[in-house]
Structure 1
Amino acid sequence: MSEPRITLPQWDELANLGDELLPLLPTALLIALDEYPQLDAARYDRMLQAHADHLHTEVGAISEWPLKVAAINHHLFNELGYSGNHDEYYDPRNSYLNEVVARRLGNPISLALVQIDVSRRLGLPLQGISFPGHFLVRLPVEEGVLIMDPFNGGRPLSVEELRERARANLGGEVPDDQVLAQILDPAPHRAILMRMLRNLHGVYVERQEWDRAARSADRILKLAPQQADAVRDRGLAYLQLEHLAGARTDLARYLKMEPEAGDAAAIRERLIDIGGERPRLH
């Protein structure tokens, strides 16, 4: 069995890391550390390594990648019981990796991260897909790519089903081969982690937990400081918390970044209301 190898990064160093150096599992656990300050990252690293160790001999004896990943999926989703939390989809615990590993429940992106991490420990280059709607995973194979749905037991998806799923999120338009291929491009680590944080932000806005909503937007900016929507979202959360100085700074910055945005007029009115901007006289 492999020794624990995990070291959590620091938030302030992430923006300067290229995607190839941005660690997926450690940063996902760093996100969880905000909510669970006593989190023992090595414990969850050991748990995921135990999944891989259990599969090492079986997967090593299989030559074809699709059959290897089928064995991994069977262990994760059938034997260990990882599953999508259909009943409480918007429970924030579905986005915190420590809770996902402990409860064996998650949302599409957190379950994908477990599937990706265990597969990579076993030598399979599983990748994430920022598919519209539910996050998916992909595995390069001789015939092209194998697309799977971690929220539904790692089930492989046909081209026809992928087109139909995409159509539902593209205004009813069925994507052609070129558009579908672009949608199925692998997601960089930074995009995966930002999507996790956006999920959390949406959950906390719905619950009106504005401190956590502000934190989620702030963490997106730690990964990608020029994300205008995260600047706006943090400013709006600050406004709800009556942190007016922070709200003024963020909302003014958002308008400078996106002066022609569809919500620019509404944001400008908010800013005027809190004394951050006055109408210009001509």
Structure 2
Amino acid sequence: MRAGFELPDWNRLAGQEDDTLPLLGTALLIARDEYPQLDADLYDTLLQSHAEEMRGTVDAIEPLPLKMQAINRHLFEELGYAGNHDEYYDPRNSYLNEVFERRLGNPISLAMVQMEVARRLGLPLDGVSFPGHFLVRLPVDDGVLVMDPFNRGRPLDEDELRQRARPHLGGEMPDDEALYRILNPASHRAMLTRMLRNLHGVYVDRDDWERAVRCADRILKLAPDNAEALRDRGLGYFKLGHRHGARHDLGRYLQLHPQAPDAGTLRERVVELSAGNAKPN
């Protein structure tokens, strides 16, 4: 068995640079909030076994795109990892232990599995915070190979990428420069924040305010001045009746974004909270 895999400390993550922030460890830390008995070493060992099963095959292949093709075939065909199209908003799709156990996930959790295996095999696979579905990218001689982990790692050409981005850009077709910016590699902090925002949205839709607040709080452990997370945690505190926490977070959000579209409504809420008149609705 490999040496024990240690999870990071939530209270130390804000001070870490993006390139040293542990992706797998922090994703499993997110899962441990929901599954306190989670065995992180088990999943690190599982990922390593996925990589070792492929090492001989991948090392024997020269072109990077063909190496990646072999990895995708192993993950999505032989091991059975797949996008959960039937229950896209199931929170288990965002908890990596469940993704490993069920072989089902959403775009960003599957991207993390794909990236971890590829990187252990020497391939510089990165995430892409693409509008809509999260994607991955691999540098190749003539540019980048962009793939969709939610759909078995299928490669996406330039035309399809433009079409996918268009609805999220006000109907405008992105030009070369805009598309290039969209395809920039996502930092580990950005990926983990997006995972937590996905979970936050799921729990808000379910009126599960304790878990929604937990997700916003974890984002703030990664990025203490994340304005959206301050607002979301403040609104969650309000729903839970934690008036002091709500007033503090909403006030801080307004300091950071005094001209935000929702600033007027939230200022009224803060005034009500300060006066002791606000009631959850």
- Structure-2-length-normalised TM-score: 0.96
What does residue 255 of structure 2 align with? 256
8 A Cα contact 1:112 1:150, kept in partner: yes
**8 Å Cα contact 1:248-1:276 kept in structure 2:** no
Change (3 A) 1:257 1:272: same
**Alpha-carbon distance between aligned partners in 2 of 1:219 and 1:210, rounded to the nearest angstrom:** 14
SS state of the match for residue 191, structure 2?
A: helix
Aligned residue in 2 for 1:15: 14
Consecutive unaligned residues in structure 2, runs of 5 or more: none
Structure 2: distance between partners of 1:76 and 1:104 = 9
Give the superposition deviation at 1:186: 0.3
Corresponding residue for residue 29 of structure 1: 28
Contact 1:4 1:46 in 2 (8 A): no
Shift of 1:199: 0.4
Quick one: distance in 2 between partners of 1:252 and 1:189? 28
Partner-residue secondary structure (3-state), 2:274: coil
Structure 1 residues 143 and 200, CA, compared in 2 at 3 Å: closer, same or farther?
same
Identity %: 65
Q: CA deviation at 1:273?
A: 2.3
Q: The residue matched to 2:145 in structure 1 has which SS?
A: strand
Q: How many residues align?
A: 277
Per-residue deviation at 1:277?
9.3
TM value normalised by structure 1:
0.96
- Amino acid of the residue matched to residue 89 of structure 1? Y
Deviation, 1:276, is: 5.6
Tell me what 1:222 maps to: 221
- Whole-Å separation in 2 of the counterparts to 1:170 and 1:261: 20
Counterpart of 1:97, as a letter, is L
- After TM superposition, give the deviation of residue 4 of structure 1 in Å: 4.4
| Aligned-residue CA RMSD (Å) | 1.3
8 Å Cα contact 1:268/1:277 also seen in 2: no
* Correspondence 1:47 to 2:46: yes
Instruction: Describe the SS at the equivalent of 1:30.
Output: helix
Change (3 A) 1:122 1:111: same
Q: Which amino acid aligns with 1:28?
A: A
Q: Residue in 2 aligned with 1:96?
A: 95
Distance in 2 (alpha carbons) for counterparts of 1:114 and 1:202? 22
* Equivalence map 1:1-282=2 (5 Å): 3-4=2-3, 6-275=5-274
Structure 1 segments, 4+ long, off by >4 Å, are: none
Cα contact 1:95–1:200 (8 A) shared by 2:
yes
